[in-house]
Structure 1
Amino acid sequence: MEQDSNEKSLRNVFLNDLICGSFAGIVNVFMGHPLDSIKVRMQIDHRDKLGLRQIIKETYKNEGALAFYKGMCPPLFTVPIINSIVFASYEFCKRLMGIHAGQDYTFKQSLISGMFAGFVNSFVLSPIELVKCRLQVQREDKAHAYYRGPLHCVKRIIQEEGSRGLYKGLLSTISRETPCYAGQFGGYFLTKKSLAWLQKKDVHDLGHGSLFIAGGVGGFTCWLVSYPQDIIKTRLQVARSQEFANYSRYIRDGGMIECAKYIFKNEHGFMGFWRGFSACSARAVFANSFMFVAYEYAQKKARGIIE
């Protein structure tokens, strides 16, 4: 009986994490997608000194306000799933290390759990990112677009590149997601601890304002440690040609090395790996602030419903 009770409790906790992650994901999409679209466009635009304001102005002038929401349908359905996987994997890894709900844990444990969550998430996220990015970079209206929607994009990728084409950029996704979530959860953890110390409170008693700040720091940190990898991933995924298909002789890297060499050589050296960072960091701070507040709020509510 005790074993059955423990198994039921673990299932409830896992379900709780999935529910909270899904809710946080919905909030993240609505708050962050417009700036995510701008970020992707800045990453693939080869014009020099084209800033965030110019891209926003140009997009609005040529395509209207709805252009900022191009490609939102896939993440609107998938980001809640992705977030549920991320948060559930993060909490699962903590439990593997013997940390249970409400217990304190260390910065190192937060980093390890974040890396684990990012690695697991990569295998689900990679094909979703592929479709999202290809839809986001289209500048034609829907009637003349190469991809007429998410399902048509998937169909066309399979026709032209085979089913393996849906996982184009997988290794670059792993190289991005693993440090990305280590930075996100690590930054969130440290900021919460710092704010709790300044306010002389327990970390579990922090208000929404403090969580909002901590979420923004986590969002900025996650991209600070993973943005160059994101540039490479985007380039690999939006390229319908095989321009970066020449693997390293010894490392089957999916074209990452060739793509990185091309960016460094042709796009102002290391600065080429930070194209679009202004849009990305603005989006991350804004969206992740709301996301973590939503997650913490949902944690309390969902725990009460399940119990």
Structure 2
Amino acid sequence: MGASDPGPSTRWEWQNALAGAVAGFTTVATLHPLDVVRTRFQVNDGRLANVPCYKNTGHALYSIGRSEGLRGLYSGFCPAVIGSTVSWGLYFLLYNKIKQRYSRGSGKDLNPGHHLLSAAEAGAWVCLFTNPIWLVKTRLQIQTPLLQTRPYTGFYDALRTILKDEGFRAFYKGLGPSLMLVSHGAIQFTVYEELRKLSIHIKSHRGITSQCGDKGLNTFDHAVLGASSKMFAIMFSYPYQVIRSRLQQRPRIDGSATYSGSWHVVKETYRFEGLRGFYKGITSSLLKNAPAASITFVVYENTRKLIGLPSSER
């Protein structure tokens, strides 16, 4: 390899980012209404008059569609698309880059610890970059006709109003639980990688080969692996999502925050709702995120193949 040759790891970095961005956009565009429902369940502590109550996921979808129309079901869609596309693109770029760094250092196949560290490090950087986008998305998703304050008219208006009324620091509300949620992505990617290696080993042992060059794995396999890893991660980290959503709510009319910090959310949630309060909306979350993860990894893996990224670049 000549000095001017950047090598395969550098050559394919933008392809990993593109594959991740396409996967993120596809996921959001397909399943956004369930994300709206999940967020509204998460912030509903039963004590706020301006938050509607829903019996279950189906009732929530029906109620939002009837009272707010398609616009309500797709509230926060713009920041969700931007955030998901940027997050997944940046995540896959950093994740693969960090894995390559560990691989060069060890000269061996990566173990679960390497995958966990790679995913956690990539997730932390993505979290710091995208927290303002997710805060705006949360606020747009939970504003309803019951709100007393002037609603945000869109993504740009929300950014401008938050900066004007609350200052730049407001964009990083919920950053603490967001950083804790790095464990979610770390667990998901570690489980995905280990299940992927196990699946390849099983198929290889049975003599199954693939025409698509991915060692026997097909689209259905990637869908199952993506959904399984996501469900495992959700069950472990969901309470952090509830805490973050409640911290990111818009201040009351008098300008005071509903919760003063993460520990305040934990105490109040447990006091009034018990352990169940930390899992509000998990049904809609599973309904959304299991297929979402399948779509994400299927689109990601197939985009990699479409743009010619070798399967060995893992």
Give the shorter-chain TM-score range.
Answer: 0.7 to 0.9
Query: What TM-score comes out, normalization by structure 2 length?
Result: 0.85
Q: Which residue, 265, 268, 273 being the options, matches 2:271?
A: 265
Aligned residue in 1 for 2:242 = 231
Aligned residue in 2 for 1:256 = 262
Q: Mark the CA change 1:207 to 1:262 in structure 2 (over 3 Å): closer, same or farther.
A: same
Aligned 8 A contact 1:138 1:145 in 2: no
Aligned 8 A contact 2:184 2:234 in 1: yes
Encode CA deviations 1:125-179: one digit per residue, 9 max, x unaligned: 210110000000011299x951111111011111111111111111121111x11
Aligned 8 A contact 2:45 2:269 in 1: no
Aligned residue in 2 for 1:189 = 193
Q: d(CA) in 2 for partners of 1:238 and 1:167?
A: 12
Q: Mark the CA change 1:235 to 1:82 in structure 2 (over 3 Å): closer, same or farther.
A: same
Q: Mark the CA change 1:74 to 1:243 in structure 2 (over 3 Å): closer, same or farther.
A: closer
Q: Mark the CA change 1:214 to 1:304 in structure 2 (over 3 Å): closer, same or farther.
A: closer
Structure 2: unaligned runs, 5 residues or longer? 47-52
Q: d(CA) in 1 for partners of 2:97 and 2:309?
A: 20
1:70 aligns to what SS in structure 2? coil
Q: Mark the CA change 1:8 to 1:98 in structure 2 (over 3 Å): closer, same or farther.
A: closer
Structure 1 residue 158 and structure 2 residue 163: aligned? yes
Structure 1: unaligned runs, 5 residues or longer? 246-254
Q: d(CA) in 1 for partners of 2:24 and 2:167?
A: 30
Offset of residue 68 of structure 1: 1.4
Aligned 8 A contact 1:99 1:105 in 2: no
Offset of residue 185 of structure 1: 0.6
What amino acid does structure 2 have at the position aligned with 1:160? D
Structure 1 residue 243 and structure 2 residue 258: aligned? yes
Q: d(CA) in 1 for partners of 2:72 and 2:37?
A: 10
Structure 1 range deviating more: 191-200 or 62-71: 191-200
Aligned 8 A contact 2:76 2:141 in 1: yes
Offset of residue 32 of structure 1: 2.4
Encode CA deviations 1:23-45: one digit per residue, 9 max, x unaligned: 11111111221111110011122
Offset of residue 234 of structure 1: 0.3
Q: d(CA) in 2 for partners of 1:81 and 1:197?
A: 33
Encode CA deviations 1:97-144: one digit per residue, 9 max, x unaligned: 1169xx8532222222111121111112210110000000011299x9
Offset of residue 198 of structure 1: 4.1
Q: d(CA) in 2 for partners of 1:46 and 1:232?
A: 11
Offset of residue 92 of structure 1: 1.2
Q: Which residue, 206, 209, 226 being the options, matches 1:215?
A: 226
**Identity fraction in percent:** 25
Q: Mark the CA change 1:195 to 1:10 in structure 2 (over 3 Å): closer, same or farther.
A: closer
Q: d(CA) in 1 for partners of 2:17 and 2:152?
A: 32
Q: d(CA) in 2 for partners of 1:233 and 1:120?
A: 17
Q: Mark the CA change 1:281 to 1:304 in structure 2 (over 3 Å): closer, same or farther.
A: closer
2:286 aligns to what SS in structure 1? helix
Aligned 8 A contact 1:31 1:286 in 2: no
Aligned residue in 1 for 2:49 = none
Aligned 8 A contact 2:33 2:61 in 1: no
Encode CA deviations 1:254-282: one digit per residue, 9 max, x unaligned: x1111111111111x11110000011111
Counting matched residue pairs gives 290
Q: Which residue, 77, 82, 85 being the options, matches 1:77?
A: 82
Q: d(CA) in 2 for partners of 1:204 and 1:145?
A: 55
1:280 aligns to what SS in structure 2? helix
Aligned residue in 2 for 1:3 = 3
Q: d(CA) in 1 for partners of 2:10 and 2:166?
A: 40
What is the Cα-based RMSD across aligned positions, in Å? Answer: 2.4
